[in-house]
Amino acid sequence: MPTRDETFAVADGHLIRSVTPARGRPYVHRCSHDSFREVLWAGEDLACGGFTLEEIAAHTNLPSTQVAVALAFLKERGCVETRYRRSYPADRLFYEDGMTEFWALAEESKNGGQ
């Protein structure tokens, strides 16, 4: 049975999420660097009670697809923990952790994924 494959890269100042679903057509969504930063700040603002994708999108006025890309990346990198369908920063340094992961991926992407 085929499995879902999800990868992330940074190119031209955008976080890029490429997904090959188990069924259906592959797709690519992007999140700009500025939008990624807004998601991190919103996550810090809403950290005490946790947050959902929809709450971050409403808080920032960003498109849901950009928020989804950012949150999926942050979850993959261990910056976000999900409990009872709510997401919480994994650390008090949420913004710093998220930006560190973004720039680490940007460097990795620049060097061809090595």
Could you tell me if residue 112 is inside a domain?
no
The CATH number of whichever domain residue 35 belongs to comes to 1.10.10.10
Indicate if the alpha-carbon torsion angle 105, 108, 113, 114 is positive or negative. negative
Full-model pTM: 0.92
First vs last C-alpha separation in the chain: 29
Could you tell me if residue 66 is inside a domain?
yes
Cβ burial of 62 (10 Å; 0-12, 13-18, 19+) is buried
Amino acid at 80: V
Total Cβ atoms within 10 A of residue 11: 11
- Provide the domain count of the chain: 1
Could you tell me if residue 114 is inside a domain?
no
Encode pLDDT of 10-68 as tens digits.
999 999 999 998 888 999 999 999 999 999 999 999 999 999 999 999 999 999 999 99
Residue 15 structural domain: 5-106
